Structure 1
Amino acid sequence: MKLSARAMAMEASATLAVTAKAKELKRSGKPVISFGAGEPDFASPPAALEAARAAMERGETHYTAGAGIPELREAICRYYRERFGLDYDPSQALVGSGAKPLVYTAFGCILDPGDEVVVFAPAWVSYVEQIRLCGGREVVVDTAGTDFIPTMEALRKALTPRTVALLINTPCNPTGVVYDGALLKELAAFAEEHDLWIVFDEIYERLTYGTARHENIVALAPAAKERTVLINGVSKAFAMTGWRIGYALAPKPLLSKMSAFQGHLTSNACSISQWASVGAFRGAEEDVRAMHGAFEERRDLIVERLRAMPHIAFAEPEGAFYAFVDIRDCLGMKHDGLSLDDDVAFCSRLLEAEYVAAVPGSAFLAPGYVRFSYANAKEEIAEGMTRFHRFLDGLRA
């Protein structure tokens, strides 16, 4: 039977594939340590669980307003007012079934066939596929040679008459880089000069370390508010990945179209998950801060262990919970007689030999790298890095 060209061209999510393979091996009794998915290992905050229980007891188990329950939209706007000093009306907030579908919804309402979106690589695995699913075309700006920070010179070269949007992700998945305020102001000015939309994915905004500080592009450049879609959610900061709640803030004309677009896909996000998110916003701030402290300790641990390893290089992550490791010096080498020709073969052999799961950098438009998520417990990180070190010691030319 015929399948669409769209379906045939689409690649599966590499992070989900790695996670699935790791879980399969673990179920068969193998001592797998997975650094694949970006998922906090903490339980969801008690305030979220209590709010969910109370909602079920009240019978909040039916359809909600398509854009989300008023209480959650109000909580989102209050959060942005208190955290960033931004004034959004609840009518400018859209609740979705995770941040990922909201990125897709934004593209669906911005892009016509052939329109271009500038993507700074390395980039999260789903961005390019979502742009293509909406009929658009990605224009990739490689940042590997500039410490994963885009330059305005490279951006200007990428601009064409078909460019309609910039996709900005900070703190960045997979690199852990945090864009500073000066760069974000330049990007906002560029978007205004060329009349471009900005899709600003700040899902990791609560997770920065050391002296790094997350900046919101609209707070820095208020004129950008009328051309910016802010994407966020409760998954990372509140350890609520399975509840599948994301949200977007956008100008009303775009937001209303995104809400209608979503209505034809999912109707609304899960009612109980929405109430759980209200509980998290209202009562989980101490939990968020405690988890942040734990992530910083984990970041320090994985950085310390990676520094001692041969054949690799990496930039110290400033945000999110990923270490992006340069393995290009390992390629062409052998492990137990098997050649490691690319990052996919490297990750496959690492999983087979040491039961350590990592994601190939080629999934993030960065061949020759691998991504390790340090959302795991410290004990798992320590053991996993011991195995990774042993694997690297076993490489031969």
Structure 2
Amino acid sequence: MEVDWGKQVHLQLLEGEAEVFGTALDLRERVSIGGQKVAVYTWRGCTLQLTGEPDLMYTSDETPMGQYLNIHDGLDARRQDARKDRKEGPRTFVVGPTDVGKSTLCKILLNYAVRAGWAPTFADMDIGQGSITVPGCIAATPVEAPIDVEDGLPTDAPLVYYTGTPTPSDNPALYRHLVERLAAVLDLRAQSDPQVKASGMIVNSMGWIVELGYELLKHTIETLKCDVVLVVGDERLYSQLSGELKRTAPAVQVLKLPRSGGVVVRSRELRQAARKVRVEEYFYGNRKELSPASQTARFEDLQVYRVGGGPRAPSSALPIGATSVADPLKLTRVTNPQELLYTLLAVSHAPQPELLLSVNVAGFIYVQDVDAVKGTITYLAPCAGPLPSSMLLAGAFKTYLD
């Protein structure tokens, strides 16, 4: 079923067994669904009660769930072996074009792993949508309980790095750098906990799969040490990756899966609208249950930086005939607060500017207003009180919240 943003329907399992993306529904529990596309699956039949009017609802007998369960069984066997041998569990990379059901498959595999007693790590490389936190981020989070149908993925202790852009094409060098930073931290976490190590990882990829996007996908597979690659809904990509990885990384298993039957191809405008909704949910909650605080600060009390644009080297240091190019990782301090209006700023844990691209972020604020005369900015924060740090990283895309 599909339920538009701003609407809600209520689902109840009356008898039998059913699940939503691998999360089992409890008998008689009332589940609220709004702004989502949800597939309820039953292995043996069930009776459901639906209150409200979905925008679209249909029943289908064709489903790849049997194949997804087979994938889970294979990953589960690898995890059992890893725990027995005290080795690394499977690191699974889900790849494919946009709107083929990659996020759905990730949720199903995560939920099945948790139900089998594992605690996998979920890493989200799709900076355009952001399933863990706001768009423009590379992020990871431990998953130790089934993903809540209403609330989504756990966000209590995510590891987040801010690219500040909705697509890696804006700064591919920054994207690579942050993937490497994330991988290093996840490696350390896995080494410190045998259960986390054996449980492995599920990685969601972006939908950019050609040219530079394809090179970034290969870089992510290598950097995160993925040993299982699931290619969803694209024969050409499967042929490319399986052929290339057979030569360069023969230990990596590449498998092909059909696209999920319930996915809907979204227009560019719909994807932009989805980004806005994700930002609103960060501050207000997906049921508007949160109360963010609007606060004002003097701009001179904040250290706001942008990434990219600085010269890599002076012309005198270059070979004769060469021209200086911009350093994509150069940090430049923002001096004009007006350009921050309607942007997201990441509040960094970094103690100094030089570490802004090495340290994960604490959270985000949204710039609502700028007063150039008073030299102040008014921002929306998840909670009232002083910011955990005055060190901020500016995003490069604007979001107009109501």
TM-score normalized by the length of structure 1: 0.30
Higher relative contact order (CA 8 A, sep 6+): 1
Higher helix proportion (structure 1 or 2): 1
Higher strand proportion (structure 1 or 2): 2
Q: Which has the larger radius of gyration?
A: 2
TM-score normalized by the length of structure 2: 0.29
